[in-house]
Structure 1
Amino acid sequence: MRQKFNRIIKSERPVLVDFYADWCQPCKDIPPILKEVKSTFKESIRIIKVNVDNNPFIASHYQVRSIPTLILFKRGSVQWTGEGIVDQSELNSVITQHLNRN
């Protein structure tokens, strides 16, 4: 999983990663928000989910201390991190800002 994850986040296209756990109640509020974000940005962005219980090394490496945590990557580097439930308008703003950068 680590190699696949690293390959995905090194993309030219921004990648939004949702760090979650099945037992986390607030984590269940994130998928509908991400669905709306994806419908807004379509193929301009990739969104993936990482279960922290199944992938503790990845979560630890990116210092995910609470869930849900969203991290936006571009070319393998962290562009933005949001903890807790982040609303759609804030996510749209962050993504738009990073889509317009080279």
Structure 2
Amino acid sequence: MSKFGALIDQDIPVLLDFYTESDKRSVVMKPILRDVAAALGDQVKVIKIDVDKNPDLAEALRIKGLPTLVIYKKGEMKWRQSGEQNAQALINVVRKFI
């Protein structure tokens, strides 16, 4: 968990995508998250976290539905949403925390 703390303790927004390769909705989010990262560049850090490989973290954060998207800034959770999102909606949400 200490690595996770360092990961989310950033001055820029950190957009976490909790997913699994077997979840179709998670797979749909891959190109959308690439678009978000490309549009915002170094103003945001986009990180994908496979819940199958990180079950303790997923349980600690009570990740139930996939995909679950979470924005942290300076170690504080700012926004959380489960389910598919479109690129422009995500860009708009992230910009609120830049």
The normalised TM-score by structure 2 is 0.94
The count of corresponding residues between Structure 1 and Structure 2 is 98
Residue aligning to 2:73: 74
Give distance in 2, aligned partners of 1:89 and 1:13: 19
Compare 55-64 and 28-37 and name the one that shifted more: 55-64
Unaligned segments of structure 2, at least 5 residues: none
Instruction: Please give the alpha-carbon distance, in whole angstroms, between the structure 2 residues aligned to 1:28 and 1:94.
Output: 21
The CA deviation string for residues 17-67 of structure 1, in whole angstroms up to 9 with x for no partner, is 000011111110111001111111100100111111111111112121111
Question: 1:16 maps to which residue?
Answer: 15
Equivalence for 1:33 = 32
C-alpha distance in structure 1 between counterparts of 2:48 and 2:56, whole Å: 15
Aligned residue number for residue 42 of structure 1: 41
Matches within 5 A, 1:52-91: 52-91=51-90
Describe the SS at the equivalent of 2:97: helix
Distance 1:4 1:31 in 2: 24
Secondary structure of 2:52's counterpart equals coil
RMSD, matched Cα: 1.0
Q: Give the AA of the match of 2:58.
A: A
> Once the two structures are aligned, what percentage of the paired residues are identical?
30
Offset at 1:93?
Answer: 1.0
